[in-house]
Amino acid sequence: MKVTAIPAFRDNYVWAVHDDHTAILVDPGDAAPILAWLETRHIHPVAILVTHHHADHVGGIREITSQHDMPVYGPALETIPGRTHPLLGGETVLIDELGLAFQVLASPGHTLGHLCYVGHGALFCGDTLFSCGCGRLFEGTPAQMHASLSRIKALPADTLIYPAHEYTLANLDFALEVEPDNASLHKRLAEVRGLRSHGRPSLPVSLSTEIATNPFLRFDEPSITVAAAQHAGHPVQPGLATFATVRAWKDGH
């Protein structure tokens, strides 16, 4: 299984899961760069996986499916253009052309119907989890996002994380404000600066790296709880309360 980032808009990635002939497209927000990528490589798309309804994730579906007939998998609880297979979480999506199977994880928080797709050592998580960050709570609650991130955190540590945005450098700035003495964060910052200086994505990233560096996955760590309490000006319990405090802190940036 190959996974290629197709840049879209200012900082989106459309992930193409492919071999030399066939591809799955994840969150195709902009048709033009996707169709150009497919045509240049003579690759035929066979399925679309959608994580949530925001325009920068679904805006290219109609144009792409007008040229390539294929199933569109997406959240049942959201309005997804061209969706053929509504999903709630708990299903398995089988892509026979590539011999791949993805488990569907419900991950409400950023939106109420948000889904993630996990399989073959990869997690396509849309706007639920970013490297060193997580999505804003546009529709869901801190409790919902905390539960969603806890489910992701329980995946195998070597799972490769494929978020939908290149937000890592900005997220690292905030993570270092929360946890300035975290050596893993300083190592990750140097790595990402090197990648971005050469125009390369900072993604994918292993879940183990995120557990060591992402303040939104480290809600049980004493260092994060202490930082959250200092920011809030009152004691904060580990877990959900720490997560909610850090998310509100980030929202103020």
Q: Which of 54, 96, 181, 231 is catalytic?
A: 54
- CA 68 to chain centroid, in Å, comes to 25
- List all residues 6 or more positions away from 170 whose beta carbon is below 8 Å from its beta carbon: 133
Spatial contact of 166 and 202, defined as CB atoms under 8 Å apart: yes
Q: Which of 18, 30, 53, 110 is catalytic?
A: 110
- CA 191 to chain centroid, in Å, comes to 20
Task: Choose among 235, 211, 231, 230: nearest CA to 221.
Answer: 211
Confirm whether 165 is a catalytic residue.
yes
Q: Which of 27, 30, 52, 114 is catalytic?
A: 52
- List all residues 6 or more positions away from 3 whose beta carbon is below 8 Å from its beta carbon: 15, 16, 17, 18, 122, 160, 162, 204
Which contiguous run of DSSP H or E holds residue 92? strand 92-95
- Which parts of the chain fold into alpha helices (H)? 31-41, 55-58, 61-67, 142-153, 168-178, 183-197, 207-213, 222-232, 240-251
Confirm whether 181 is a catalytic residue.
no
> Do strands 205-206 and 160-163 pair parallel, antiparallel, or not at all (unpaired)?
antiparallel
Confirm whether 231 is a catalytic residue.
no
Confirm whether 198 is a catalytic residue.
no
Residues shown for the chain: 253
Apex CA 83: angle with CA 81 and CA 87, to 5°?
A: 130
- List all residues 6 or more positions away from 95 whose beta carbon is below 8 Å from its beta carbon: 24, 46, 47, 101, 102
Q: List the catalytic residues.
A: 52, 54, 56-57, 110, 127, 165
